[in-house]
Structure 1
Amino acid sequence: MDLIIRQARLKDGEDLKDIAVQAGKIVEIADSIAGDAEREIQAEGRVLIPGLIESHIHLDKALIASRKPNKSGTLQEAIKVTAELKPTFTKDDVYSRAKQALEMIIKSGVTTIRTHSEFDPAQGFTGFETILQLKEEYKELVDIQVVAFPQEGIFKAPGTEEMMYQAMDMGADVVGGIPYNDAPANEHIDLIFDIAKKYGKDVDLHQDFADEADDISIEYLCKKTIAEGYQGRVSVGHLTALHALPEEKLRPIIELMAEADISVMALPATDLHLGARSDEYNVRRAVTPIRKLRDGGVNMCIATNNIRNAFTPYGTGDIMQTAMLAIPVAHLGGADDLPTVLPMITTNPARAIGLKNYGIEVGNQADMVLLDTKVVNDAIIDLPTRLFVIKNGRVTIETTKTVTVHR
């Protein structure tokens, strides 16, 4: 064997397991595996999980918070500030920042990333081309899906429609969109589906990012998804406007979303920062209703969105910290709720972004993370050190630490 991980905890309440890897695949899982391997890792009862998935991030505009701060903390100023900065981005600049952000993310145990990469007539494809370059350069460490993302809208930014098709020809993996920042929103959605069908690609939209639910298009998106036979191939990020709906209006939307099999990437770090800025008292959380969506059968994921820019002026790239933040924000700390959080950064986003052969099962790709904790249910709340990160059967990250308590 290439690798054997000995006596790892896969599930609470079950026996420890040995996991054998050969040629990048998991080939055996058993109470004890005879023989040896080129490398063996002694887990000693520590938790082994599938590789973490960062399902919604913007690598191309990471680490720019100090250049032009968003002083009001609003979404409107974040969009304005970033639009002013983007024409100043050079290829070297994007490369340096995105590479730094990538390495922050990879160290946290992420083995697959979906990143939204922007282009528009003002900045051209500078950032987009750079992200495609990094996708190739880092393929041994992380799988990257690149979303063609028109941040400034399509119809309101003439020339962007043509660039969408060019981006797909250049190698984008997913068709992105932003209905709330374009007009009319429904026609924006229609165009995104036209492009997606032409190239046979999935759809991932920034959807209904607002404090109020006065002008939402999620229902239209659900109906369009069903009409086009795209169930299970559409994801949305943010979707914060749903938090403003009373139960009688929210319930039928959730039912429609479940029917359309639309996945949701909740982005609590960004949405808490930008949301409800006009509330003078009794300030709302302004995060999509994670528990209600989950309970309604919607595939719920948690993602980071941004690292240290006008939208999110903090972050370390550790998706577990974002998941930890979501626990109190979305009331996910109860005994029945806590076990549902780890899947929101592993198996749920794997399903959302269409990963095959994912998970710790024989025959699957050997993407795994060994955590410095011995209880699966505590995998998030312990914020454990990622001791080993394994990508395609190869150890890519190894962390050692020494803690001395002096009495």
Structure 2
Amino acid sequence: MVDLLLRRARVADDIDPVDIAVTNGVITAIGTDPPAAATVEIDCAARVVIPGLIEPHVHLDKALLDGRAHAPDDTLAGAIAITGDLKRGFTATDVADRARRVLDSAIVHGTTLIRAHPDVDPIVGLLGVEVLLDLREEYRGLIDLQIVAFPQEGILGAPGTLDLLREALRRGADVIGGCSYNEADLADCHRHVDLVFDLAAEFAVPVDIHADFADDATDPRFALADYIAEATQRTGLGGRVAIGHVTSLASRPSHERQATMARLAAAGVAVVPLPATDMHLGGRADETAVRRGIAPVRELWAAGVTTAYSSNNIRNAFTPYGNADLLDIGLFLAQTSHLSSPPDLRRVLDMATVDAATVVGVADRHGIRVGADADLVVLGTHRLADALLDRPDRCYVIKAGRVVARTTRVTEIVARPIAVVD
């Protein structure tokens, strides 16, 4: 017997609604000839159904710190410094409580997988990793959690970090992270990248590096995308490497941008813009023609670079906004990147679903097709082209074939204009 049946689901704007059957957490049929019965049936009433949303770059351990301190200059350096001070007071209970609040919000907003980047450094040790390892089990069946061992304070500039990263991977971190710009000079930045790739090879894990997070590339530490592409090709890790931010790319001359993006595409390096953070911290010294500081999404698409987006930080010194709603972030990305046509908006939606699945390595089992995991979201809108614009309710959030969240809302106009009688 079918476990779950979604009737009259809108999966594309150019075809009639279909029925989606799910058994044992997997999509088993899609079409207009549904099974006669199912354990659970949901009438989507021609509302849009999309694959589960995927956050490929979130800092759960540093979320919701906005009430504790504020970076006085709202710069990247200021955010790193003030958060470093706050980290000294972190406890397991504190980190877990804040992370749970974000995870719960993400689930309600339709996210079915998060790649989280907890800090690993001499300040907090492995605290963030240990908490997220526990939360990964606690939330199993509700949301998948990938854990990145992330050296926010650098590796060479923070002695002891390399050993901590290795221990994090031994304990079960899924991905090795990097912060390629946070070293003293270019040579150390290159060494940082090399050490990250050495750890990836040692533990057979993917790579996810914070890179090129500056207004421009005048400081060569913020122009390492080409070096990361070279390292990816040298180590044969194409398709398993992502770089986040990459904001300096937008400031480079067109021919340089095109050359770098061609190298990224050829090497199989994905790019993840983080628009809420990138635009908040970027352009702080610009007095005129203030830069947006977001990686050039349309050009990345044209170059064939796998591109997703994510929330990054939520309500802290890096990003004082957010509620773990990927559709909200997607709309902001569209608004700030000149992406407005229906095909553009559909592509932005894909960035948070099928493209993000490629970034985090689950593309083989994610999507709306027979054989894919039944991670699905029923939206309160009737056209995919409107999925961002309408800010729709997540009517049902389905993880592995089970409804894990729903939003029920009644909105109505209860008064009408009073007719004026002449």
Structure 2-normalised TM-score?
Answer: 0.95
Query: Equivalents in 2 of 1:340, 1:193: separation in Å?
Result: 31
Counterpart in the other structure of 1:29: 30
Give yes or no for the alignment of 1:271 onto 2:278: yes
SS at match of 1:180: coil
Give yes or no for the alignment of 1:179 onto 2:180: yes
Per-residue deviation, 1:335 = 4.0
- Can you give the 5+ residue segments of structure 2 that lack an aligned partner in the other structure? 416-422
Counterpart in the other structure of 1:141: 142
Report the RMSD for the aligned CA atoms in angstroms.
0.9
- Deviation string 1:141-179 (CA, Å, 9 cap, x unpaired) is 001100000100000000001101000001000000001
Query: Equivalents in 1 of 2:410, 2:346: separation in Å?
Result: 30
Counterpart in the other structure of 2:378: 370
Counterpart in the other structure of 1:406: 414
Greater shift, 335-344 or 13-22, is seen at 335-344
Greater shift, 346-355 or 334-343, is seen at 334-343
Give yes or no for the alignment of 1:8 onto 2:16: no
Counterpart in the other structure of 1:333: 340
Residues 342 and 385 in structure 2, CA contact (< 8 A), matched pair in contact too: no
Give yes or no for the alignment of 1:194 onto 2:175: no
Counterpart in the other structure of 1:67: 68
Per-residue deviation, 1:395 = 0.5
**Number of equivalences:** 407
Report the AA paired with residue 147 of structure 1: V
SS at match of 1:38: strand
> In the TM superposition, what are the counterparts of 1:12-91 in structure 2 within 5 Å?
12-91=13-92
Aligned residue among 224, 227, 230 for 2:237: 230
Counterpart in the other structure of 1:160: 161
Residues 343 and 385 in structure 2, CA contact (< 8 A), matched pair in contact too: no
Counterpart in the other structure of 1:393: 401
Structure 1-normalised TM-score?
Answer: 0.99
- Deviation string 1:195-241 (CA, Å, 9 cap, x unpaired) is 00011100000011011112111111101101111111100100001
Query: Equivalents in 2 of 1:122, 1:33: separation in Å?
Result: 56
Greater shift, 273-282 or 180-189, is seen at 180-189
- Can you give the 5+ residue segments of structure 1 that lack an aligned partner in the other structure? none
Moved >3 Å (runs of 4+)? none
Query: Equivalents in 2 of 1:38, 1:119: separation in Å?
Result: 45
SS at match of 2:308: strand
Per-residue deviation, 1:107 = 0.7
Query: Equivalents in 2 of 1:337, 1:123: separation in Å?
Result: 41
Query: Equivalents in 2 of 1:282, 1:103: separation in Å?
Result: 39
Query: Equivalents in 1 of 2:308, 2:317: separation in Å?
Result: 23
Report the AA paired with residue 221 of structure 1: I
- Deviation string 1:63-100 (CA, Å, 9 cap, x unpaired) is 00121111211111000000111010011100111111
Query: Equivalents in 2 of 1:134, 1:11: separation in Å?
Result: 35
Query: Equivalents in 1 of 2:69, 2:105: separation in Å?
Result: 22
Per-residue deviation, 1:246 = 0.9
Query: Equivalents in 2 of 1:400, 1:98: separation in Å?
Result: 25
